[in-house]
Every structure is written in structure tokens, then in C-alpha cells.
Structure 1
Amino acid sequence: MVAARQLDGVRRAAAAAAGEQARSVQAAREELTEVRTRLAAQQTRLRERGVPPISLVPSPPEVSEAARAMAGGPATVLAGLRAARERVDAADAALVARHPLRPASWSARARNLLVYGPLALVVPLIQVVVYASTGVGPATVAALICGLPMPAVAFVGGWLGVGRVFRPRPGDRLDRTSRFGALVCLVPAVLATVMLLLAMLAG
């Protein structure tokens, strides 16, 4: 009986160890995929900034040291990959800090405003110019009527433009700030319409 209980304990311990090892292997695979994707994106950004390709490839001593560090099994590999991901995060932060004027380093709203803003101002500016040029008349009324659907058109154009101008890095999801973009496109049109209507009524 004692031997049977001991054998059962050994089997349970072996099953638990095998399960933990399988979980570590799966987690290590996921970490490896993410780190590879992030490193590829960093390499692309650094090459665009003039960094020589040879500087982006690990040297033979670095490869040997990494291989020795990975010889401790799945748990050790997982810990090493998580440390590598932390270094990738630090490198991304350093790249952003060195180029604060690049839109890619701005918040999503500030960045997207560069696309939504100009599109939102086009029609209101045209309406104001028409009114200033012709005064109260058919041309101004036509400009007001034609401008009614323009906020929706500007929003759709901005939404598409954000995706073309600010392409996300591999593995990232682009934040188009849809509600903010809709507000940006709507406010100038409403203000211009109200101002022109008041001016026409006063005239």
C-alpha cells in the first residue's frame, strides 16, 4: 500500500511537471512571436533612420551567450523572452523620446487631428468665402445647402485617410478615434452654418 501511494504521488508530480512544462512552452512560443514582430518593426524604423543593417544583426558572441542562456529549459527560455520584450519596450520608448515631433509619437487624437482637422475646415471656409464675396444671395444659400452633408463626407475621408497616412506597426491596431473625428468634423460645420444664418437674418 505504501509503495502504491508513493507511486501515485510520483505519477501526480510527473503529470504536474509535464503540464507546467507544456504551459511554459506555449507561453514561450507566444512571447517569441510577439518579440520577433516587434523587433522586425524596430529594424524597419531604424533602417529608415539610417542605421547600418550590420548594426541590427547580433554578433556571434551575442548569439552564443543567448544560446547558453536558453539551455535551461522552457521556463528559462520564457523568462529570457520576457526580459527581451521588456528591452524592446524600452527601445520603443527611447525611439519616441528622441523624436517628439514625429506624429507617430503623439497621442492618437493629436495625430489624427492632422487628418480630420483640414478636411473639417474645407467646406466651412468655402462657405465663408462665398458669403464674403457675394453677400446674402443664391450663392450663399446654395453653399449652405450643399454643406449640410459635408461633415459626414469629411469624417469618412478622414477615417480612410488616417489608415493610409498612419499605418500601424505589425501586430498593432490603429486607433482612428472615430468619435473624436466625428466631433472634429461636425463642430466647424455647425459653427459656420449658425454664423452665416445669423448674418443672413441680420442682413
Structure 2
Amino acid sequence: MTGTAAIVPGPRTPAVEGEPGEAAWADYVATARQLDGVRRAAATAAGEQARSVAAAREELAGVRERLAPQQARLRELGVPAISLVPTPPEVTESARTMAGGPAAVLAGLRSARDWAEAADDTLAARGLPRLARWPARPRNLLVYGPLALVFPLLQLMVFLATGTGPVSVGALVLGLPMPAVAFMAGWLAIGRLFRPRPEDRLDRTPRFGALVCLIPALLMTAGLVLAMLPG
């Protein structure tokens, strides 16, 4: 028997993908990337829309807080309630403006807030042009000052009319609590005349007001007492 060499099979070479397979893989990768881009864009749009909705709700609450005291103030000034309700054409126009989605609603609410702020300024300055925006002390002096001078001037007139006597003494005694009365009247008048906006705080300058109300009374009392003393 003639010996023959055994043939050992070598490792198989993997089949090389042809052009159709490579093209299909490239199409798959491109499609996957497009889908991922669409998904990311949709997620971004949804997030922006959610933020716009939240901001619009917050803005709406702020506008309502502004409009409520304005409506009450206008009713106090004699404006009919029917005039404070939007008309059907105004409602239709507003609905058309809001049709652009949450972003359009948010823009409209911000415009409404600006209008409400302008209305606050107008109502605050009603009857007292520009005084509501003055610094607190000069503005309040226009209220405390005249009230502080009322009774001291009355005391002076009584003294000049009656001279030294029981009437003048009685006027001096009655004048003792008058600085406190003038201060309280000024405190209330400032709150009535200079109404702040909802987010602002009205500064009545109480220490300054008390000083303004006290000094004229002290000076007048001291002057009258000296005038009544026997020469």
C-alpha cells in the first residue's frame, strides 16, 4: 500500500459582502440617524411647549392679580361693571391672536401685563399728576404739613382774637393731642391718595410724619405760653 499524505483542510475565509449589502447597511444607518434626529427634535419641541404652557399659566395668574384690584378701583370711581367686560369683537380678536399656540398665548399675556402696569400708574396718579411717583418724604410732606399747621393756626387766631384768657388757655389744652390727630389723619390720607401697585409697598414715612406733625404744635405752644406770661 502506497502511503499518501493526508490533506488537512485549512480555515475558511469569510465571504466578503458585496456592494448590495454595503448599500443596505448605509441606508439603515442613515435612516436610524434621521429617526434619532426627528425624535430629538420632537422631544425639544415638546419641552419648549411645556415650558411655554407653564410660563403662560404663571403669567395669567399675575395678570389676574393685577386686574382684580384695578377693577375694584374703577368700580369705586364710578365705572359701570358692563364697561369692564370685554365685548364679543374683542373676545374674537383675542382668540384669533391666541391661535398660534402656547408661545402666542404667552406673548399676549405679557402684553396684557404691560398694559396692566400702565393702568396701575394711571390709577395711582389719578387726580394727583406725578405726585405718586415723587420720593416718599417730599410727597408725604404735602399731606402731613398742612394737617400739622391747621390747629396751631387756629390757636394763634384764638389768641389774637381773645388775648390772654381762659379761651386761649383752653385752646392750648385742646392742642395737646392735636399732633397725634394730625399724624393719623395724614397716615390715612396718604394711603387714600397714593395707592401703590399690587407688588409695591406704600412708604408712609411714619417717623418723618410724626416729626412734621409735632414741631409746629411745640413751637406754637411754646410761643403762646411765652406770650401769656406776665411781662
d(CA) in 2 for partners of 1:143, 1:56: 51
Q: Pick from 124, 142, 150: which aligns with 2:152?
A: 124
Which has the larger displacement, 30-39 or 114-123? 114-123
Q: 1:58 to 1:130 in 2, by over 3 A?
A: closer
AA of the residue aligned to 2:180: A
Bigger helix fraction: 1
d(CA) in 1 for partners of 2:173, 2:129: 37
Give the percent of matched residue pairs that are identical in Structure 1 and Structure 2: 63
Q: 1:168 to 1:189 in 2, by over 3 A?
A: same
Does the Cα contact within 8 Å between 2:121 and 2:197 map onto a contact in 1? no
Which has the larger displacement, 65-74 or 36-45? 36-45
**Could you say which residue in structure 2 is the equivalent of 1:89?**
117
The Cα of 1:121 is off from its aligned counterpart by 2.7
Residues 1-203 of structure 1 correspond to what in structure 2 (within 5 A)?
Answer: 14=43, 18=47, 23-43=51-71, 54-92=82-120, 102-103=127-128, 106-107=131-132, 116-132=144-160, 133-135=162-164, 140=168, 143-144=171-172, 147-163=175-191, 165-166=192-193, 168=195, 171=198, 173-200=201-228, 203=231
d(CA) in 2 for partners of 1:150, 1:49: 32
The Cα of 1:50 is off from its aligned counterpart by 6.5
AA of the residue aligned to 2:211: L
TM-score with structure 2 setting the length? 0.56
d(CA) in 1 for partners of 2:188, 2:77: 27
Higher relative contact order (CA 8 A, sep 6+): 1
Does the Cα contact within 8 Å between 2:179 and 2:217 map onto a contact in 1? yes
Which has the larger displacement, 187-196 or 138-147? 138-147
SS at match of 1:171: coil
The Cα of 1:168 is off from its aligned counterpart by 4.2
AA of the residue aligned to 1:187: I
Structure 2 residue runs of 5 or longer lacking an equivalent are 1-31
TM-score with structure 1 setting the length? 0.61
Task: Give the number of the structure whose alpha-carbon radius of gyration is greater.
Answer: 2
